[in-house]
Amino acid sequence: MAKHTHPFHMVDQSPWPLTGALSALTLTMGLIKWFHKMNPNLLMLAMFITLVTMIQWWRDIIRESTFQGNHTSIVMSGLRWGMILFIVSEILFFASFFWAFFHSSLSPSIELGSSWPPSGISPFNPFQIPLLNTAILLSSGVTITWAHHSIMENNHPQSLQALFLTIILGLYFTSLQAWEYWEAPFSIADSAYGTTFFVATGFHGLHVIIGTSFLSICFIRLMFFHFSPNHHFGFEAAAWYWHFVDVVWLFLFISIYWWGS
């Protein structure tokens, strides 16, 4: 490690940015091959390369921070800003799908029968599974806050318990949504309703799975005592992401499930 008189972390040479860029290329080419040649092999390879890049890159960050102690408070501040800006970009990503939904639903075209839901669509009853899912995510918000406080109070057994509960709730949400998707009377191809519904809730579901994975990694790290009561940014980042996912669900529930029925 070079000596320097500034608090920033000058990282060592790493191949993961290059493999990450190559994995992005392979992903796009793989999608094209899948769409046009009906062959998913390149895409499967691309997903594998992407996954392995992520694992190794983040593993290296853990090694540099938790084990080698390179993350000063300034470095952590930079990471905080980075996570915040990333989540802001995700919010804008979802904003586009909400815009599409409101564009189609506020003034339904004559081809839909000038009504929303369009003629022939039977939407889900918002007060059955969707309401349960709302309760699940809100509760998971409580449990993750409990876990955070437990970490800050150096209560290891409770922090494990609370984080474990959060993950279980996340998995429960995902399985309920998957069942709803399977049982749905309409598909993504059924008018603007199907499109806006499945694209918005689908991307949300994907983000829940990402959030659950992030929390699971935190759980494993927590088991191995990586977090200290006042330095646990990995956990905080996961918690912020999880709250974001919860808030997006609340907007989805109110606009698409409830108002949109």
Token pair, residue 207, equals: 């983000």
Q: How far is the CB of 104 from another protein (least distance, A)?
A: 14
Q: Residue 255 in contact with residue 98, Cβ under 8 Å?
A: yes
Q: Residue 2 in contact with residue 9, Cβ under 8 Å?
A: no
Helical pair 16-37 and 41-62, crossing angle rounded to 10 deg = 160
Q: What Cα–Cα distance (Å) separates residue 240 from each residue in 31, 54, 80, 201, 214?
A: 31, 20, 10, 20, 11
Site for another protein in 108-127 (CB under 8 A): 110-115, 118-120
x/- map, 39-78, another protein, by CB under 8 A: ----------------------------------------
Q: How far is the CB of 192 from another protein (least distance, A)?
A: 12
Nearer to another protein, 43 or 121 (CB): 121
Residue with token string 């059924």: 190
Nearer to another protein, 145 or 261 (CB): 261
Q: How far is the CB of 261 from another protein (least distance, A)?
A: 16
Question: Using alpha carbons only, how large is the chain's radius of gyration in Å?
Answer: 21
Q: How far is the CB of 113 from another protein (least distance, A)?
A: 3
The window from 15-23, 106-114, 217-225, 232-240 that contacts another protein (CB under 8 A) reads: 106-114
Q: How far is the CB of 121 from another protein (least distance, A)?
A: 11
Q: How many chain residues bind another protein (CB under 8 A)?
A: 9
List, in sequence order, the alpha helices (H) in the chain: 16-37, 41-62, 73-106, 129-152, 156-183, 191-223, 233-252
Catalog residues that contact another protein under the rule CB under 8 A. Answer: 110-115, 118-120
